[in-house]
Every structure is written in structure tokens, then in C-alpha cells.
Amino acid sequence: MNYKETASKIIELVGGCENIKSHTHCMTRLRFVLKDNSIAQEALLNEMVEVQGVVNKAGQYQIIIGAQVDELYKEVNQQCPIIEETESDKSKNEEETLFSKILGYVSGSIAPALSVLIAAGFTSALTTLLTQFGILSTDSSTYLFLNQLANLGFTYLPVMVAFGAAKRLKTNEYLAGFIILVLCSTSISGVEGLSFFGINLMTVKYASNIVPALFMVPVMAFVDKKITRFIPEVAKAALKPFILCLVTFTITVLVLGPIGAIIGNALGSFCIWISNFGVISMAILSIFHPILVMFGTHTVLSPIFMNETAMFGYSLLAVKALTGNFAMAGAALAVGLKAKKDVNKSSGITSGITALLSVTEPALYGTLLRLKKPFIGALIGAGLSGIFLGIFAVKSYAPGQATLFTMALYKGGDSMSNFYYACLCAVLAIVFGFIATWIIGFDED
């Protein structure tokens, strides 16, 4: 890919830099917040060889690129630095629904930190494999380094989410990250019997819990605007950071932190409760996973996964991605083997293998949704294999992308049975997705 030319073309087709309010990226997508979505030329974007699809959801204009998105984004950022949103620009989006705004805020705040989750997840899987096969001793310094690299990515994830949220809401991202970093410290996070200005505090575990961070930043942005009006210009450089930090910290410790903890605990408990439905719940959740990925809203569930893992040491809800991802891979491979046209055969096999090893978006947008019926096959495969997730109560012991390289994420507990069941469900998802797509068929034209 010629990153410079591709970035220039994409920027032109979304309306130029003057139509872009902000931009970021995740594993496979460029994510734009546009001033006017109607200006974007979606048909021409879809005609680009480098573009695998376009999604306009959750307040974001998402362009699916694939594994090369990181390098392409660097060029996009080089050619089109983020510019400030004016009042007239804001008025154009007043009709955006509250749900879309919340969805866009949560997704946009978490998306920049996904690279950390991926790195930490893969490191966790590698460390587990090395220790499992006796290559690495848990007493070694190498294990210490790798273990910290894997664990602290999740421990301090709230700091990175706060930074991303603050950047999105145009408030001081460094202060936001600093406040959450202080709250994640071992002196505060999860410590009982604390008080602040004589007020007894609820015990809150801030480490790995991104809900308080998501609550804090909008309040911080509001406080930022209010105090800016009252602080004299000559004193802003010195007083504004201090006042903003102290006020936001106080509100978070006394109000937002406890609320976030209550909601986080409720979400974790909800995940355990829904697992009581076993077969039905996991089948439905597995079916919905490809749909959430399709709309680019799958990252919104990250707070639930993180809080569930922080509370119980594992996640039941996160394993829906296991069957959802592998079912999409199986469906894409079925297209590759059954198709007669070279373009469909090539895209099916290539994207199917990519889905098995790294990310599913190329398979989803480049093959399944393009041919329509294979997407239904993937949903059927996900649902059928999800039944077995419920039967075996498969758990994920660390967040991460569900791929062949990260199956060690399902190793935990007192035995290897959960890992074996997870592997079985992955195989079933591939087989069911493949067979369903093969039987349903598809129109290559």
C-alpha cells in the first residue's frame, strides 16, 4: 500500500480535513468523527482497493482497512492533524441521539487503548505457553518482566481510557490520566477504611476498572469550561490545572468512584446471573458478536469484560468472541473453497486464515457481508457452537482477541479442562460456520 496516496485519497473522499472533527484507529479501522457525514463519498470509498468496507455507526465514520491501518493512520495524522470543533460545527450534530453520543464516547475512548490490550493479551498468552511447557520458570526475572508487561496493561488501562476520553472531550488529557493513575495506586485502589476530609469512603477498586474513568472525564470537561470563565488570564497557567485537578479528584473520590464501583459490581454480577441461563444465553451472545463487530460497537462491552475479570478472575461474557470469531473464519473458508470466481476464492481463503490468526474484519467486510448469505452462515455457526460454550461454562481468564495464537487465554483454574473445552468450541465454531455456509450457498454475482 502506498500510505501517502491512500491517506490523501481517503481524506479527500470524507470531505477533506475541514470536514474532520477528530480521528483515531483500532486494529483494522480508521475511525473519523465528521462534521457532516453527507459530504463523505461512500461509494467511491468502497471502490478503493485498499478499503474493505465503510460503516457509519455510533457517531463514527469507520473505514475498514485491515492489518495495515496503523501505518496508514500515521500518514492520515500527518496530512490532517486534528482540528478544534467550532460552535457552528457542534450545532450540526445536535440532532444526534443520546444513545449514539454515549456509544460514540465509550467506543472512541476505548479504541485508542486497544493496542495496549492486544499487546498485553498476547504477552499473557506467550507467558502462559512458555511456563506451561517448562521453557520459562516462574522464579526467573524474565518471567517477572513478561508477567508485569501482561498484567499492568490491564491494571492501568483506566489511565489510558481516561486519556483517550479527555482527548475526545477536549479537556486536559494529562490531568485526567494523572488523577486516575493516583486512584489506581496501591495506597487507594481497593483499600478499606479510607476517608477524605473526614468523610468515610466506600472501598473502590480503581485498578482495571474503566467505569469510574468514563464517568469522571465528562464531569472534568464540564468543570474545565466553568472554571475557565472565572480565572483571570494572568493566573490561568498556574491556577487552572490545580483547581481542575483538585475539584475533579474530589468529585471522583466522593461521588463518581463509588457510583462507578456500584455499576461495575452490578455489571459483573449481571454477567454471572446471565450465565445461569447457560445454553440459551451463550448461544444468543455468540450470535450477537458478529453483529456488534459489524456495527463497530463490540468495544463498548469492554467495561463489562474488565469489571467481570477484575471481580471474579475470569469472564464468561467475553468468550462469546471465541465462537463468534471462529464461526466467521469457518464461513469465509467455506466461501474460499466453494467459490468458482477467483476474486471470491482468494478473498475467502485469505480473510478466513486472517480471521483465524489475527482479526476478523477482513473476513466480515471483504467476504461475508459482501456476499450476504455467508454472514448468515457465520451467525448460525456462532449460535450452534455457543450452545457448547454454555454447556461447558467456558471462561476467559484474560481479555484479548480470540485467535489461534491466543487460546492460552482460556487456560486457568485448577485443571486444563476449561482450555480443552475452549479449543473444542473453537473447532466446532469453524466446522458449524463452514457447513452452514456451504449448505446455504451464496450468489457470487
How many residues are recorded in the chain? 445
Q: Is the dihedral of CA 308, 312, 315, 317 positive or negative?
A: negative
Which residue among 35, 61, 82 closes a domain? 82
Domain limits at 430?
278-440
On whether residue 111 sits in a domain, the answer given is no
Which residue among 57, 82, 107 closes a domain? 82
**Cell digits of residue 316:** 464468561
Which residue among 62, 82, 102 closes a domain? 82
Query: Bridge partners of 56?
Result: 61
Between CA 301 and CA 307, with CA 306 as vertex, the angle to 5 degrees is 100
Q: Are residues 202 and 286 in the same domain?
A: no
Q: Are residues 167 and 227 in the same domain?
A: yes
Residue 147 to residue 135: CA distance in whole angstroms: 15
On whether residue 138 sits in a domain, the answer given is no
DSSP 410-441: G--TTSSHHHHHHHHHHHHHHHHHHHHHHHH-
Report whether pLDDT(84) > 80. no
Q: Are residues 174 and 30 in the same domain?
A: no
Please report the beta strands in 379-418, taking only residues with DSSP state E, as ranges in sequence order: none
On whether residue 351 sits in a domain, the answer given is yes
Summarize pLDDT for 221-241 with one digit per residue, the tens.
999 999 988 888 778 888 899
Q: Are residues 166 and 239 in the same domain?
A: yes
Q: Are residues 320 and 255 in the same domain?
A: no
The percent of residues above 90 in pLDDT, for the chain, comes to 38
63: CB partners within 8 A, 6+ apart: 10, 14, 29, 30, 32, 45, 51, 53, 54
Residue 16 to residue 34: CA distance in whole angstroms: 10
Q: Are residues 28 and 72 in the same domain?
A: yes
Q: Specify the residue for cell string 478473498.
A: 347
Q: Are residues 249 and 306 in the same domain?
A: no
On whether residue 168 sits in a domain, the answer given is yes
Residue 200 to residue 202: CA distance in whole angstroms: 7
Q: Are residues 202 and 287 in the same domain?
A: no
Q: Are residues 318 and 236 in the same domain?
A: no
Q: What is the pLDDT of residue 295?
A: 64
The percent of residues above 70 in pLDDT, for the chain, comes to 87
Exposed, middle or buried by CB within 10 Å (0-12, 13-18, 19+), for 292? middle
On whether residue 95 sits in a domain, the answer given is no
What mean pLDDT, rounded, does the chain reach? 84
Q: What is the mean pLDDT of residues 402-425?
A: 87
Buried b / exposed e over 152-165, threshold 16 CB at 10 Å, is ebbbbbbbbbbbbb
Phi and psi of 57, rounded to 5°? -145, 160
195: CB partners within 8 A, 6+ apart: 201
The amino acid occupying position 37 is N
Q: Are residues 236 and 318 in the same domain?
A: no
**Whole-model pTM above 0.75?**
no
How does strand 53-57 pair with strand 199-200?
unpaired
Most confident residue range from 73-87, 227-241, 291-305: 227-241
The overall longest dimension of the chain from CA atoms, in Å, is 74
**Number of structural domains found in the chain:** 3
Residue 154 to residue 207: CA distance in whole angstroms: 8
Q: Are residues 241 and 298 in the same domain?
A: no
CA dihedral 14→15→18→22, nearest 10 degrees, is -20
On whether residue 394 sits in a domain, the answer given is yes
Percent of the chain that is helix, strand, coil (3-state, to 5): 70, 5, 25
Q: Are residues 191 and 256 in the same domain?
A: yes
Please report the beta strands in 74-210, taking only residues with DSSP state E, as ranges in sequence order: 195-196, 199-200
User: Who has greater pLDDT, 437 or 350?
Assistant: 437
Summarize pLDDT for 176-219 with one digit per residue, the tens.
999 999 999 999 998 999 999 999 999 888 887 788 898 999 99
On whether residue 113 sits in a domain, the answer given is no
Phi and psi of 292, rounded to 5°? -65, -40
On whether residue 267 sits in a domain, the answer given is no
Q: How many H-runs (helices) and E-runs (strands) does the chain carry?
A: 20, 6
Between CA 379 and CA 385, with CA 382 as vertex, the angle to 5 degrees is 145
Q: What is the mean pLDDT of residues 349-376?
A: 84
